[in-house]
Structure 1
Amino acid sequence: MTESEKLGLYIHIPFCRSRCAYCGFYSIEQVPSQKFIDALIREIQRKSKFFSHRSCDTVYFGGGTPSVLTVTQLNQIMSVLKSYFDILSDAEVTMEMNPCDMNYDYAAGVKALGINRVSIGVQSKENMLLKQIGRQHSAFDAKKAIKNAVKAGFTNISIDLMCELPGQTVEDFQNTLYWAVHLPITHMSVYSLIIEEGTRFHYLDQKGILARPTEGESWHMYQDMCKILPHYGMERYEISSFARKGYKSKHNTKYWVLDDYLGLGPAACSRIGRERRENLPGVKLYEKALLSDEAIPEKIEKLSEKEEMEEFCFLGLRQTVGISKGAFKKRYGKDIHVVYERVIKKLIQENFLKETDTHIYLTYQGMAHGNYAFEQFLLSV
C-alpha cells in the first residue's frame, strides 16, 4: 500500500470549557456526555465498513478541546477505533490539548492508550495577552503542561503560537519565540490572527475597537518568526509550520498533498478522492441521528478536475518543498506547464516563485505574499 492509499482519521471533539475570543471552529461550552460518546462510537462502526481495505497511518483528535475527554471516555473511543479500523502500529496519533487539562496523571493516561503526539494550545508567553484572548492558562501552566507530557513519555510535542493579536507588540512576540524554542518540543505551528465571523473579536472589530498591530509591526513579527525559529533548529516546512528534523506533522501533510482522510464527529470534514463531506454542526442533531439509526446531516461537494487542480497547486505551494511536477503529471495526465505556463513565468519574474527540475516553490518573498500567489493559480471559468 502506497502512502497516498493510506487513510487518515480525524475525530472532532466539539467541546470547550470556555470559548476563546478568536475561535471560529464549531464548539460548545460543556463537557462531553456518554450520549455523545455512544453516538461517536456508532459513527465509527457505521463508516468503518467502507474502509476495511485500507490501513490508517494517522489519527488526529481535534476540536474544540479533545482534552475535555476523560481518560475513560478516550479509552472507549480508542478501543473502538482499533477494533473497526486497521490502525498501523507506527501510526502518528495526535491529540490537541489545553494546558489546563494536562496534569501528569492525565498525560500518562492518554499516553498509555496509544496517543503518541500532543499538540498544546500555548498561543503566547504573555499572560496579559492570554487573558485578553480568552485563554484560561498562564505561561507557567503551559510550561508545566509540556513538562508533564515529557515526564509521561511523550517525545513528539507540538505547540501552537499566535501573532498579530490585539495589543501584542513586536517585543511580546519575540519574547514568546525565544521562550518557546527553549522548551522541550519538536514542532511549532504559528498562526496569524484571522478575524472569524461570529467571534467576540469580530464583534469588536466591527465596532472599530479592536486594537491590532500595524502593517509594519505585523511584517516585523513575520520576519522574526522566519529568522528565530530556524536558528534554533525549527525548520519551516509549511507556511505556518516548523519542525525539528523528523518531526513534521504526518496528518497535516495529508491535507496539503490531497491524501484521503475521514472525519468523524459533529462538523468534521472528510476528503475521499474528489469528494468532500462535512458533518453538519450540532451535537444534539448528531446524537439523535446516530442513536436513532438515521443518516447524519451532511454537506457533500464533488470537485471537478479544474477545482481539484487549483487546490492541488495552492496547497502544494503552502509547503516549502512546493508543487511536485511529477505528482501533478501523475494525477492529471499532463505537464503543469501545459496548464500554468503563463502563471509560472509571471510569478518567477516577480520573484515570488522558483523552479527546479522536479518542483515549483515559493520564494521567501512569495511565502510572505502567499495569498496573492495562490490566487494566480485559480483557473478562469
Structure 2
Amino acid sequence: MARGVYIHIPFCHQICNYCDFNKVFFKNQPVDEYIEALGREMELTVEQMPEAFVNVETIFLGGGTPTALSATQIEKLLALIAKHIPLSNVKEFSSEANPDELTVEKLQALFNGGVNRLSMGVQSFDQDLLKKIGRTHSNEHVYRTIQNAKDVGFTNISIDLMYGLPGQTMEQWRHTLEKALALKLPHYSAYSLIVEPKTIFYIQYAKGKLNLPTEDLEADMYGVLMDTMEAHGVHQYEISNFAHEGFESTHNKIYWDNDEYAGFGAGAHGYLRGVRYSNVAPIKKYIELVMEGHRPLLQEHSVTKDEKLEEQMFLGLRKSAGVTHGEFEQKFGQSMASVYGETIPKLQREGLLETDAQGVRLTRKGRFVGNEVFQRFLIEDE
C-alpha cells in the first residue's frame, strides 16, 4: 500500500553541473502534453490497483524542477493530482523549487493547489561557488523568495545545502551554514557532492580538471555541519537531514522506513505490491506509451525476502533513531539478532553501531562511513 506519491517533472531552465537526474532543457519541450500524460498515468495506475492508494500520506513533486512550469501549468498539474489521487489522508504535500524562478504567482498556485511544504535548492551562499556548480540564483533571490513564500502562507520551508564542492574551503562552508541558519527555517538538508556519470562534473573529473576537497576536509565539513546544527537546536534525524521538532520530512521517512510509494513520470521509480519499478526516461516515449493506455514501465523487480531484510537495514540506519527491534520483528516475524547475530556485535566493537532495548543505530563515528556500514548488512556477508 502506497504511503507516498512521487511525481517527476523533468524540465529545467538551467542544468546544474552535478545533476544526474532525468532532466531536459525546458525550451521546445512538450510540457503541456507531459502534464496530460502524468494525469493519464495516475489514472491508469489507480484503476489497476485502487487499494494501493487509499491511505496516501504524502505527495512530492521533484525533478528536474517543478517550478520551471508556469503558474497555469502548475495549476493544471495539481488539479490532475487532486482528480486521480485520494487526498483525504495527505499530511504533507511538497514541491522542490529554484529560488530564482519561484514567482509570487507560482507560489500562490502551489499553495492554492494544496502544496504545504517547499524544498528549495540553495546549495551555497557563496556566489562564486554557485557559478561553479551551474546555479543561476543569487542570495537576494533566496531571501526574497522565502519572504514571498511566508507572505503567501507557507510555514514549512526547507533548503538544500551542499559541501565538498570544487574549490570549497571550510571558511566558505561555515559562512554558508551561518547564512542558512540565520533564516531560522524549520528544516535543512545538506549533502556532500557525489560526482555522478553523465554529468558535467564527471567529464571535468575524468580530464583531471575538477579540484575537489580532500576526503579529510570533506569529513571535517560533515562534522562541522552536525555540530553547528546541534548548537542551533536543529536536531539531526537522518544522515543528511536536520529539523526542528515536528518538521521532519514525512515523505523521505517513507523511503527510510522501507515502505511502499508510487512513482509517476518519465524516469520515476516506485515500490508497490512488493515490486520495485522504474519508468521509461525519454519524454516522448513516456507520453506515447501512456497516451496509448499503457503504464510506461521500463523494468520491474519483485523484491526477495533477503533484499527486504537488507533494505530495512540500509535505509533504516540512515535515520538517527535507527532500526527498532519492534518494527523489524513486525515486518519479518524474526528478530534482528536471528538474522544479523554476527554483524551487529562486530560493528559495535568497531564503534560504528550502538544497540539498546529499543533498537540499533549508527554512532557518530558510524555516520562518517555509513555506506561501509550498510554494506556489512548484505545477507551473503552475514
Aligned-residue sequence identity (percent) comes to 36
CA contact (8 A) 1:52 1:86 kept: no
For residue 90 of structure 1, report the CA deviation from its aligned partner: 4.9
1:11 aligns with 2:2: no
Match of 1:317 in 2: 317
Secondary structure of 1:147's match?
helix
Match of 1:23 in 2: 19
Instruction: Measure the CA separation in 1 of the matches of 2:233 and 2:204.
Output: 38
Unaligned runs of 5+ in 1: none
Per-residue CA shift, 1:279-300, capped at 9, x if unaligned? 0211000111122224424210
Match of 1:40 in 2: 38
For residue 80 of structure 1, report the CA deviation from its aligned partner: 2.2
Q: How does 1:206-355 map to 2 (within 5 A)?
A: 206-355=206-355
Secondary structure of 1:86's match?
coil
CA contact (8 A) 1:11 1:268 kept: yes
Instruction: Measure the CA separation in 2 of the matches of 1:293 and 1:362.
Output: 46
Secondary structure of 1:276's match?
strand
Higher mean Cα deviation, 44-53 or 122-131? Answer: 44-53
Instruction: Measure the CA separation in 1 of the matches of 2:79 and 2:122.
Output: 29
Match of 1:195 in 2: 195
Paired residue type of 1:334 = Q
For residue 52 of structure 1, report the CA deviation from its aligned partner: 2.9
Match of 1:103 in 2: 103
Per-residue CA shift, 1:177-197, capped at 9, x if unaligned? 011011142111100000000
Paired residue type of 2:42 = I
Instruction: Measure the CA separation in 2 of the matches of 1:221 and 1:71.
Output: 38
CA contact (8 A) 2:354 2:363 kept: yes
CA contact (8 A) 1:104 1:151 kept: no
Unaligned runs of 5+ in 2: none
Paired residue type of 1:197 = P
Change (3 A) 1:44 1:295: closer
Normalising by structure 2, what TM-score?
0.96
Instruction: Measure the CA separation in 2 of the matches of 1:57 and 1:89.
Output: 5
Instruction: Measure the CA separation in 2 of the matches of 1:50 and 1:243.
Output: 37
Normalising by structure 1, what TM-score?
0.96
Instruction: Measure the CA separation in 2 of the matches of 1:265 and 1:303.
Output: 22
For residue 230 of structure 1, report the CA deviation from its aligned partner: 1.5
Q: How does 1:65-144 map to 2 (within 5 A)?
A: 65-88=65-88, 90-144=90-144
Change (3 A) 1:180 1:71: same
Secondary structure of 2:56's match?
strand
For residue 327 of structure 1, report the CA deviation from its aligned partner: 1.0
Secondary structure of 1:379's match?
coil
Instruction: Measure the CA separation in 2 of the matches of 1:130 and 1:283.
Output: 29
Cα RMSD (Å) of the superposition? 1.4
